[in-house]
Structure 1
Amino acid sequence: MKKYISLAILSVSLLGLSSCLKNKNLVLDPDKSPSVVEFSTITDNPSGSGGGYTLYARAFDIDPAGVPSQFAVNYSGPSNAPSDITVNLDVDPAAIDAYNDANGTSYSLMPASVYTLPSSVTIKSGERKAVIDVTFKTANFDLNESYILPLRIASVSSGNISSNYGTILVAVNAKNKYDGIWTSTGTMVDNTTASLTGFYPYDYQMITQSATAIAAFDPVYFGTYIHMIKSGGNVSGYGSFSPVFTFDDSGKITSVVNIYGQPAGNGRSAAIDPTGENKITSGTPGTPGCVFKVKYFLLQPGTTIRTTFNETWTYQGPRD
């Protein structure tokens, strides 16, 4: 009886193993694994996914000469490339549509006029990688647009194109000299609700809105443009409100507006308080320790001053 039970268990075990091998498509012989060509994503941190595609983000300074950047394609096989492999490149606008539909975003295709991309690269015989040199003409970016460069491996002279990383989406932003991580300190007074108080100090990502404007983005709690506050001592924020600071050539802040509109859908606007210093008071933009001081209002409703801010912002360094 024990013999029959053992044989039955062995039979079931083998059947289960066979099923696992079939379902997982396991490769038992590495030397017979398929040769795949794909984009290398080792040095980038993905910032999103959707529609079958992965999104990566890069940000560059605004430079009239253009900003060089590099991507790479890899050969993944049992050994190095047995011969030269030509990798033909193009862009795939449909991938942006799929990503936007899946995530409710509104990224747009980067115009060919603001970047240069080679039509092909070669993975040399005996190697596993080829570098793709791309130049972004950031001075020509429309900073009101959210660009994606949808890089696609169109064809290869040998091997298979990866089903996962044959196309990648790269969100590319331009950064002005004020862009970076800034620590905000200061005071705020909400005239309608005494339990709402300032959340200071706090590190914001100040993200480029134009060649001379930046807006406050919270990278930790809400992951969006917002002004952080405390509500009864708890972390909170003013919804649909984030200040956009615009500087002139001398470093003076000429305006403060709400990134969500003047007013936003909830009636909130921003306005500069002319009694403040409202300028860079020390240091050089883009250099750690640079400081600007600014006073401004949250208006709600209409021109009614709901909240007064008196803040000092200190530059810490570039954002990723």
Structure 2
Amino acid sequence: MRYLFSLFIIYMFSACLKNEVTLDYSGIQPVVLIPNANWPPKGFASPAMDSVAGTTRLNLFARVSYEKPLTKNVLVKFTLDNALVDAYNTQWGTSYQMLPASCYQVASLEVSIPAGSQQAVIPITVLPGQMDPQHDYILPFTMASAGGQTVSANFKSFVFTIKGQ
């Protein structure tokens, strides 16, 4: 009996081979994203509260998430995403309105991430004097394309909120 038990133990320990895990990242492609994307909310996130009150400049970022900068320019195009207004209000039980175009200035919703760099920014100038202080506003953007690169599915939208007085 002891002999069978010994054989069983030897068999069990010899069956456990320790394989080395080799990670192969060679097939990974660059992904373009908004590094501080806040929509859709992840986990137990709370609504963006008064994220730009008193601010006159907003920054909309685009970043290449990859091990190193790319060797070519990447043209990133954003869109003003009206659907996010309803989605945000439904999610948080709020009644934000789209910020009127007369309340902000942006030269273009396109930005080029230069070769050798991993990030670019679109500056947006907010004009507080043009806003009705009785309303809460939202300015939602979604990355539409990235010059042939993959756009992140869950880091492609950003919602700026502005609370009235």
| TM-score using structure 2 length | 0.77
Give how far 1:138 is off: 1.1
Q: Which residue, 36, 40, 44 being the options, matches 2:35?
A: 40
Q: Show the counterpart of 1:148.
A: 138
Q: Given the alignment of the two structures, is residue 110 of structure 1 paired with residue 99 of structure 2, yes or no?
A: yes
Taking structure 1 as reference, are residues 74 and 55 closer, same or farther at Cα in structure 2, changes over 3 Å only?
farther
Q: Report the 3-state secondary structure (helix = DSSP H, G, I; strand = E; otherwise coil) of the residue aligned with 1:95.
A: helix
Report the Cα distance in structure 1 between the residues aligned to 2:101 and 2:126, rounded to whole angstroms.
Answer: 10
Report the Cα distance in structure 2 between the residues aligned to 1:69 and 1:168, rounded to whole angstroms.
Answer: 11
Q: Show the counterpart of 1:163.
A: 153
Give how far 1:165 is off: 1.6
Taking structure 1 as reference, are residues 39 and 31 closer, same or farther at Cα in structure 2, changes over 3 Å only?
same
Deviations 1:92-149 (A, max 9, x none): 1212212221221222211222112322000000100101111111111111211111
Q: Show the counterpart of 1:70.
A: 59
Identity %: 26
Higher helix content, 1 or 2: 2
Q: Show the counterpart of 1:23.
A: none
Q: Do the aligned residues in 2 keep the contact of 1:36 with 1:76 (CA within 8 Å)? A: yes
Q: Do the aligned residues in 1 keep the contact of 2:58 with 2:124 (CA within 8 Å)? A: yes
Q: Which residue, 80, 100, 120 being the options, matches 1:91?
A: 80
Q: Given the alignment of the two structures, is residue 49 of structure 1 paired with residue 41 of structure 2, yes or no?
A: yes
Q: Report the 3-state secondary structure (helix = DSSP H, G, I; strand = E; otherwise coil) of the residue aligned with 1:131.
A: strand
Q: How does 1:261-276 map to 2 (within 5 A)?
A: none
Query: What residue identity is the alignment partner of 2:91?
Result: A
| TM-score using structure 1 length | 0.42
Q: Show the counterpart of 1:6.
A: 13
Q: Do the aligned residues in 1 keep the contact of 2:72 with 2:116 (CA within 8 Å)? A: yes
Uncovered stretches (5+) of structure 2, i.e. residues with no partner: 1-7
Report the Cα distance in structure 2 between the residues aligned to 1:87 and 1:58, rounded to whole angstroms.
Answer: 24
Larger RCO (alpha carbons 8 Å, 6+ apart): 2
Q: Given the alignment of the two structures, is residue 124 of structure 1 paired with residue 131 of structure 2, yes or no?
A: no
Higher strand content, 1 or 2: 1
Q: Do the aligned residues in 2 keep the contact of 1:88 with 1:155 (CA within 8 Å)? A: yes
Give how far 1:169 is off: 0.8
Q: Do the aligned residues in 2 keep the contact of 1:74 with 1:128 (CA within 8 Å)? A: yes
Report the Cα distance in structure 1 between the residues aligned to 2:63 and 2:26, rounded to whole angstroms.
Answer: 18
Q: Do the aligned residues in 1 keep the contact of 2:47 with 2:92 (CA within 8 Å)? A: no
Q: Show the counterpart of 2:52.
A: 58
Across the two proteins, how many residue pairs are aligned to each other? 152
Give how far 1:31 is off: 4.4
Q: Give the aligned CA root-mean-square deviation in angstroms.
A: 3.1
Q: Do the aligned residues in 1 keep the contact of 2:109 with 2:122 (CA within 8 Å)? A: no
Q: Show the counterpart of 1:133.
A: 123
Report the Cα distance in structure 1 between the residues aligned to 2:127 and 2:144, rounded to whole angstroms.
Answer: 24
Report the Cα distance in structure 2 between the residues aligned to 1:59 and 1:68, rounded to whole angstroms.
Answer: 11
Deviations 1:19-61 (A, max 9, x none): xxxxxxxx9334433311111329xxx7x937xx985411226
Uncovered stretches (5+) of structure 1, i.e. residues with no partner: 19-26, 62-66, 174-207, 210-320
